[in-house]
Amino acid sequence: MNAEDTSTQMRHTKIPLPQAVVFYCAQFSIKHVVISPGSRNAPLTNGFVENPFFNTYSIVDERAAAFFALGIAQQQKHPVALVCTSGSALLNYYPAVAEAYYSEIPLVILSADRMPHRVDIGDGQTIQQEGVFGPHLLDAAVLKPDVAHATNRLLASNKQTYFDSNPSKEDVLALQEKHQKHNIAELQRILLLACTCKGPVHLNIPIEEPLYEMTSKPLLLPKATRVKKEMFDVDTTALITAWKQASRKMILIGVSSPNSELNKAIYQLLEDPSVVVLTEKTSNFTHPKAIDAIDCLMAPLELEQNNKEADLKPDLLITIGGMIVSKKIKFYLRKHPAAKHFHIDTTRANDTFYYLSQHIEAPANLGLEAVIKLAKTTSTYQEKVLKQYHTYLDKGKAYLNTIPFSDLAVFKRVTSALPPNTHLQVANSSPIRYIQLFDLPKGTEIYSNRGTAGIDGSTATAMGAAQINPKQTVLITGDLSFFYDINGLWHNYIPSNARIIIINNQGGGIFRILPGEKDSNKYDTYFETTHKRDAKALAKSFGLQYKRVKTAWGLQRTLMSFFKRSNTAKILEICTPRKNNDTVLLNYFGAMANKPNKES
């Protein structure tokens, strides 16, 4: 039964604008709605909750709610709605809005607001809500308030600009009709944009009291324009010319969802000896001939005395997908520019390397079809690069067998213990970088908030994604990221098969790898932010199983049962030594390049 079938069998808010908002969300199949409590948003909340078409979630903390919605949208590739009350509640959405913008994830922000004449006169929970998300939106709509609802309250204000004096009933209804026509057009325009493009949109909804009145007689609203299937006119003329001229072609794949059509296209291109494919774990692409641990190639290449950087320099660079984690490949491709750089994607093209030639606006597999058909180039490019890469890996394996208990050792152990077909969410900073260095089990899907690459919201995003992805959800996070997003667990939607792995190295361990002063009071307090906190009490407060380990033997034993079925979700906190993780990692890269070990 769809939303239209049930519209006359349920209750609706009496207020026209929020009723229209709910109606058009249903029309555009925006099924998932994440609501944070409040009074001003009561008409929206009642409208969504009363309608059986919607799946509604109640999450108190707006920041966590927004990342939770982001996780749902990340998985289903369709807009998710967020509903909040007026005032500072809306501002708490901003980190997730920025992430959605740069990760190209569709969100619909529905913020309840005071009437325009009630803003900046001293009313509580009232701020300037229009335009608060600045440039981090696809678009926003300025909706006009209902004047036929609570007209007497409207006329009581000397700040309202809609009527000069006591208006007639006809005057009120005429203006209401004009406002409603504007609002219907704007709602359809913005929601259509949310469904056809990738990113966040904002609808700010002025509402006057009384807020809780309901009716069984809905407004007669026009149906929405149906979403049309996107058609692509792909111009690959320049790409074909550049491809024919290049004997060294590099394809770099950033953040991408699992995509069988793209996989098929890349498989075919890897049969060409002039093609080198660099991938990251967040690309969700693997192949025996692909280099999927980029820093295991780039870091030792930088360190080798007989530097072979020129052997990697491409004539042609093709990028696919979103953000790139590896700083080393970014620096390299800026230092050694290709003659041409093409980016193939339906939306944004980032000029990451400063010499983007063309953005081919199409799905990557369609953009690559033109060059797949071309004759293979005689070249030793792929052979040489892969040989160097595997030489480094082989040297690194010998070193890995000797390392002490550390972050690197933990990631080696955890990645090998993950069950096949895992839905893996990885927090930013150290975890997303360590995870790049190791193979993952077959069928693993990996996601990370790489749009802004912040540590906030990783837990909430994972829990939201777990509502959609049928695979077991595993979140690998750092201690600061986990404690930062405690409220990502403050709700009733944690699946029993969810698993959270916290790597607790007592602070921001990544700062020890970066250049700068170490082990001073200033550094410990303001950079690494050392602490002695653990997650045991938090796990108990959220009703989750908890295990803490601090040795390799303890980790190995715990991992044997950690992923097995249970009645509640589980947290595994792995405590690693704070001061030797950076040395172990740098020595790993040094071993690949035959460099002597650095001392702790």
395 found inside a domain: no
Identify whether residues 346 and 426 lie together within a single domain: no
502 found inside a domain: yes
221 found inside a domain: no
What is the tens place of the pLDDT at every residue in 551-589? 999 999 999 999 999 999 999 999 999 888 999 999 999
Whether 310 has a pLDDT exceeding 80, the answer reads no
What is the tens place of the pLDDT at every residue in 496-512? 999 999 999 987 666 66
Identify whether residues 368 and 456 lie together within a single domain: no
Identify whether residues 337 and 206 lie together within a single domain: no
Phi-psi region of 125 (alpha: psi -120 to 50; beta: other; left: phi over 0): left
Work out the angle between the directed axes of helices 94-103 and 62-76 (0-180°, nearest 10): 20
Question: What does the DSSP assignment read for 140-155?
Answer: EEEPPPPSSSSHHHHH
Cβ–Cβ < 8 Å for 426, 476: yes
pLDDT given at position 1: 42
586 found inside a domain: no
232 found inside a domain: no
Cβ density class 560-579: b for 16+ within 10 Å, e for less? eebbeeeeebbbbbbbbbbe
Q: 147: which residues sit within 8 A by CB, 6+ positions away?
A: 154, 162, 163, 172, 175, 176, 179
Percent of the chain with pLDDT over 70: 96
What is the tens place of the pLDDT at every residue in 448-466? 999 999 999 999 999 999 9
What is the tens place of the pLDDT at every residue in 345-403? 998 899 999 999 999 999 999 999 999 999 998 999 999 999 999 999 999 999 999 99
Instruction: Tell me which residue of 119, 123, 116, 208 sits closest to 162, measured CA to CA.
Output: 116
Identify whether residues 338 and 440 lie together within a single domain: no
pLDDT given at position 225: 82
Identify whether residues 204 and 242 lie together within a single domain: no
Whether 517 has a pLDDT exceeding 50, the answer reads yes
Identify whether residues 125 and 200 lie together within a single domain: yes
Q: Residue 272 carries which side chain, given as an amino acid letter?
A: D
pLDDT given at position 516: 67
Percent of the chain with pLDDT over 90: 86
Range(s) of the domain holding residue 322: 237-378
CATH of the domain at 161: 3.40.50.970
394 found inside a domain: no
Confidence band, pLDDT 50/70/90 cuts, at residue 486: very high
CATH of the domain at 288: 3.40.50.1220
Whether 520 has a pLDDT exceeding 90, the answer reads no
Confidence band, pLDDT 50/70/90 cuts, at residue 223: very high
Q: Which residue has the tokens 């109640």?
A: 58
Identify whether residues 279 and 168 lie together within a single domain: no
| Mean pLDDT of the region 114-127 | 87
Bridge-based pairing of strands 275-279 and 214-215 is unpaired
Identify whether residues 40 and 106 lie together within a single domain: yes
pLDDT given at position 50: 97
Q: What's the gap between Cα 115 and its chain centre?
A: 33
297 found inside a domain: yes
Identify whether residues 19 and 163 lie together within a single domain: yes
Segments in 28-168 forming alpha helices (H)? 42-50, 62-76, 94-103, 151-155
Quote the mean pLDDT of the chain.
Answer: 93
| Mean pLDDT of the region 69-78 | 98
Identify whether residues 100 and 26 lie together within a single domain: yes
Whether 116 has a pLDDT exceeding 70, the answer reads yes
Angstrom distance (rounded) from CA 428 to CA 448: 7
600 found inside a domain: no
Identify whether residues 47 and 192 lie together within a single domain: yes
Bridge-based pairing of strands 570-575 and 499-504 is parallel
Identify whether residues 419 and 548 lie together within a single domain: yes
Q: Where among 378, 395, 429 does a domain terminate?
A: 378
pTM assigned to the model? 0.95
Number of domains in the chain: 3
pLDDT given at position 231: 77
